[in-house]
Amino acid sequence: MSLFNNTLPEIHNKLHQKEISVGDLVGHALETIGAHEDKIRAYITVDEEQARASARQLDDQLVSGEERGLLFGLPVGIKDNIVTEGLRTTCGSQFLKNFNPVYDATVVHKLRAAQTVTLGKMNMDEFAMGGSNENSSFFPARNPWDLERVPGGSSGGSAAAVAAGEAYFTLGSDTGGSIRQPASYCGVVGLKPTYGLVSRFGLVAFASSLDQIGPITKNVQDSAYVLQAIAGYDQKDSTSAKVDVPDYLNALTGDVKGLRIAVPKEYLGEGVDPQVKEKVLDALKTLEGLGAVWEEVSLPHTEYAVATYYLLASSEASSNLARFDGVRYGVRSDNPDNLLDLYHQSRTQGFGPEVKRRIMLGTYALSSGYYDAYYLKAQKVRTLIKQDFDRVFEQYDVIIGPTAPTTAFKIGSQVDDPLTMYLNDILTIPVSLAGVPAISIPCGLADGLPVGLQIIGKAFDESSVLRVAHAFEQNTEFHKQRPQM
């Protein structure tokens, strides 16, 4: 049995009772990586030497008998767009294939303070632009449940590694669903916090008004522990929110009696696979049996969310990625004719086709004569989408629906159809536009592939989201299902 099948408190107790060591945990993770990574490709960089050295240091500290936090000694993976001092951070792009940051992102600093062990950097769609991990410029990650299928994106490597037991937990980033959708496809738990709850300092920006870091774990309790460690105000991040961080573990009561659940009709309508819909309705029956009540509601501007998102996210990407010019860091073309040619050749060589597509779309939307017609209008529709959520939350505690309209699709089946690929995020994008928290948890299998249940909460009410997810998890066995590697 995998060591990682133990719960976090169980591992903590084993460490302090000297039944296992940090070296055992790290060694187990590295052995699993060695056994499966040639098929799954969840990592871009594995830092075995430093991981083993860190494990030895932490084991020396254990001898002292000093009390340690619950994350102590856990082997973790970091998405490759979150900077790590001295450890290559590529963003899944050839542009940054040799980039070694000189500082840690705030979330990485917090995990180091909690004394976790970083195993390496997780595979991802280039600059987080994609929904399948096929846009990684190194190699696509594969879904441990079916190696012919995608793990989702852009945090596909982060989700695949947890599902395959290659890390105890990982960090991902979510711009339009990039934590939740891969969590759904890989049968694990993925949490997107409220925008501003977790510092973005050290996260390489894709769309600054949408990007948010969050954990991918095996169960809801672990998500609560990790969120507790990484949440909080950071003066280095101008978008960080000055809010109190509650004790998320206290929220895991299992009690949902009287809980008011809203189920948007738009989330169970056209385009949602019948088996996915069936699993979501079964999940609602489970919560109903625990004392919750649910009603159908409408989020009428959902149909405009995908178009709104891709205009806004691409516009912000156009601005953010302008810094990659071949001058300061990253790829630099050889022998350019002049400065403009340096920009042109470096970006031609460094960026992949999806990144170029979004930069061009965003630049067009921001250009003179089109700004009002596209970007400004998209911002107005974003406000309407947020108001839809605000109105529903006046009467309901949480919103529930599927995380993705289908299960994981086959590698290569949508790579030449970007519009179809974009629609895979239709159920996660509205949440990101509204800036509210949401979690994806397993709620069953459809034709042997995981189905994700999305639970959405009010801004900064992660406690309710975690409480509902944990109550469902404690009364089902779906989170214990593992792929047959």
Q: Which residues does the annotation mark as catalytic?
A: 79, 154, 178
Q: Is the peptide bond before 154 cis (omega within 30 degrees of 0)?
A: yes
Q: State yes or no: cis peptide before 432, omega within 30 of 0.
A: no
Q: What token pair was written down for 152?
A: 């989702």
Q: Residue 285 contacts by C-beta under 8 Å, 6 or more apart in sequence? A: none
Q: What angle do CA 358, 363, 366 make, to 5 degrees?
A: 125
DSSP code at position 439: E
Strand-strand pairing, 398-402 and 449-456 = antiparallel
Q: Which amino acid is at 45?
A: T
- Measured CA to CA, the distance from residue 106 to residue 373 in angstroms comes to 37
Give dist(CA 358, CA 368) in Å, integer.
18
Looking up tokens 């205009």, which residue turns up?
311
Nearest-5° angle of CA 195, CA 200, CA 203? 130
The Cα 145–Cα 222 span in angstroms is: 22
Extended strands (E) in 7-127: 43-46, 75-79, 117-122
Give the DSSP H or E segment for 438. strand 438-446
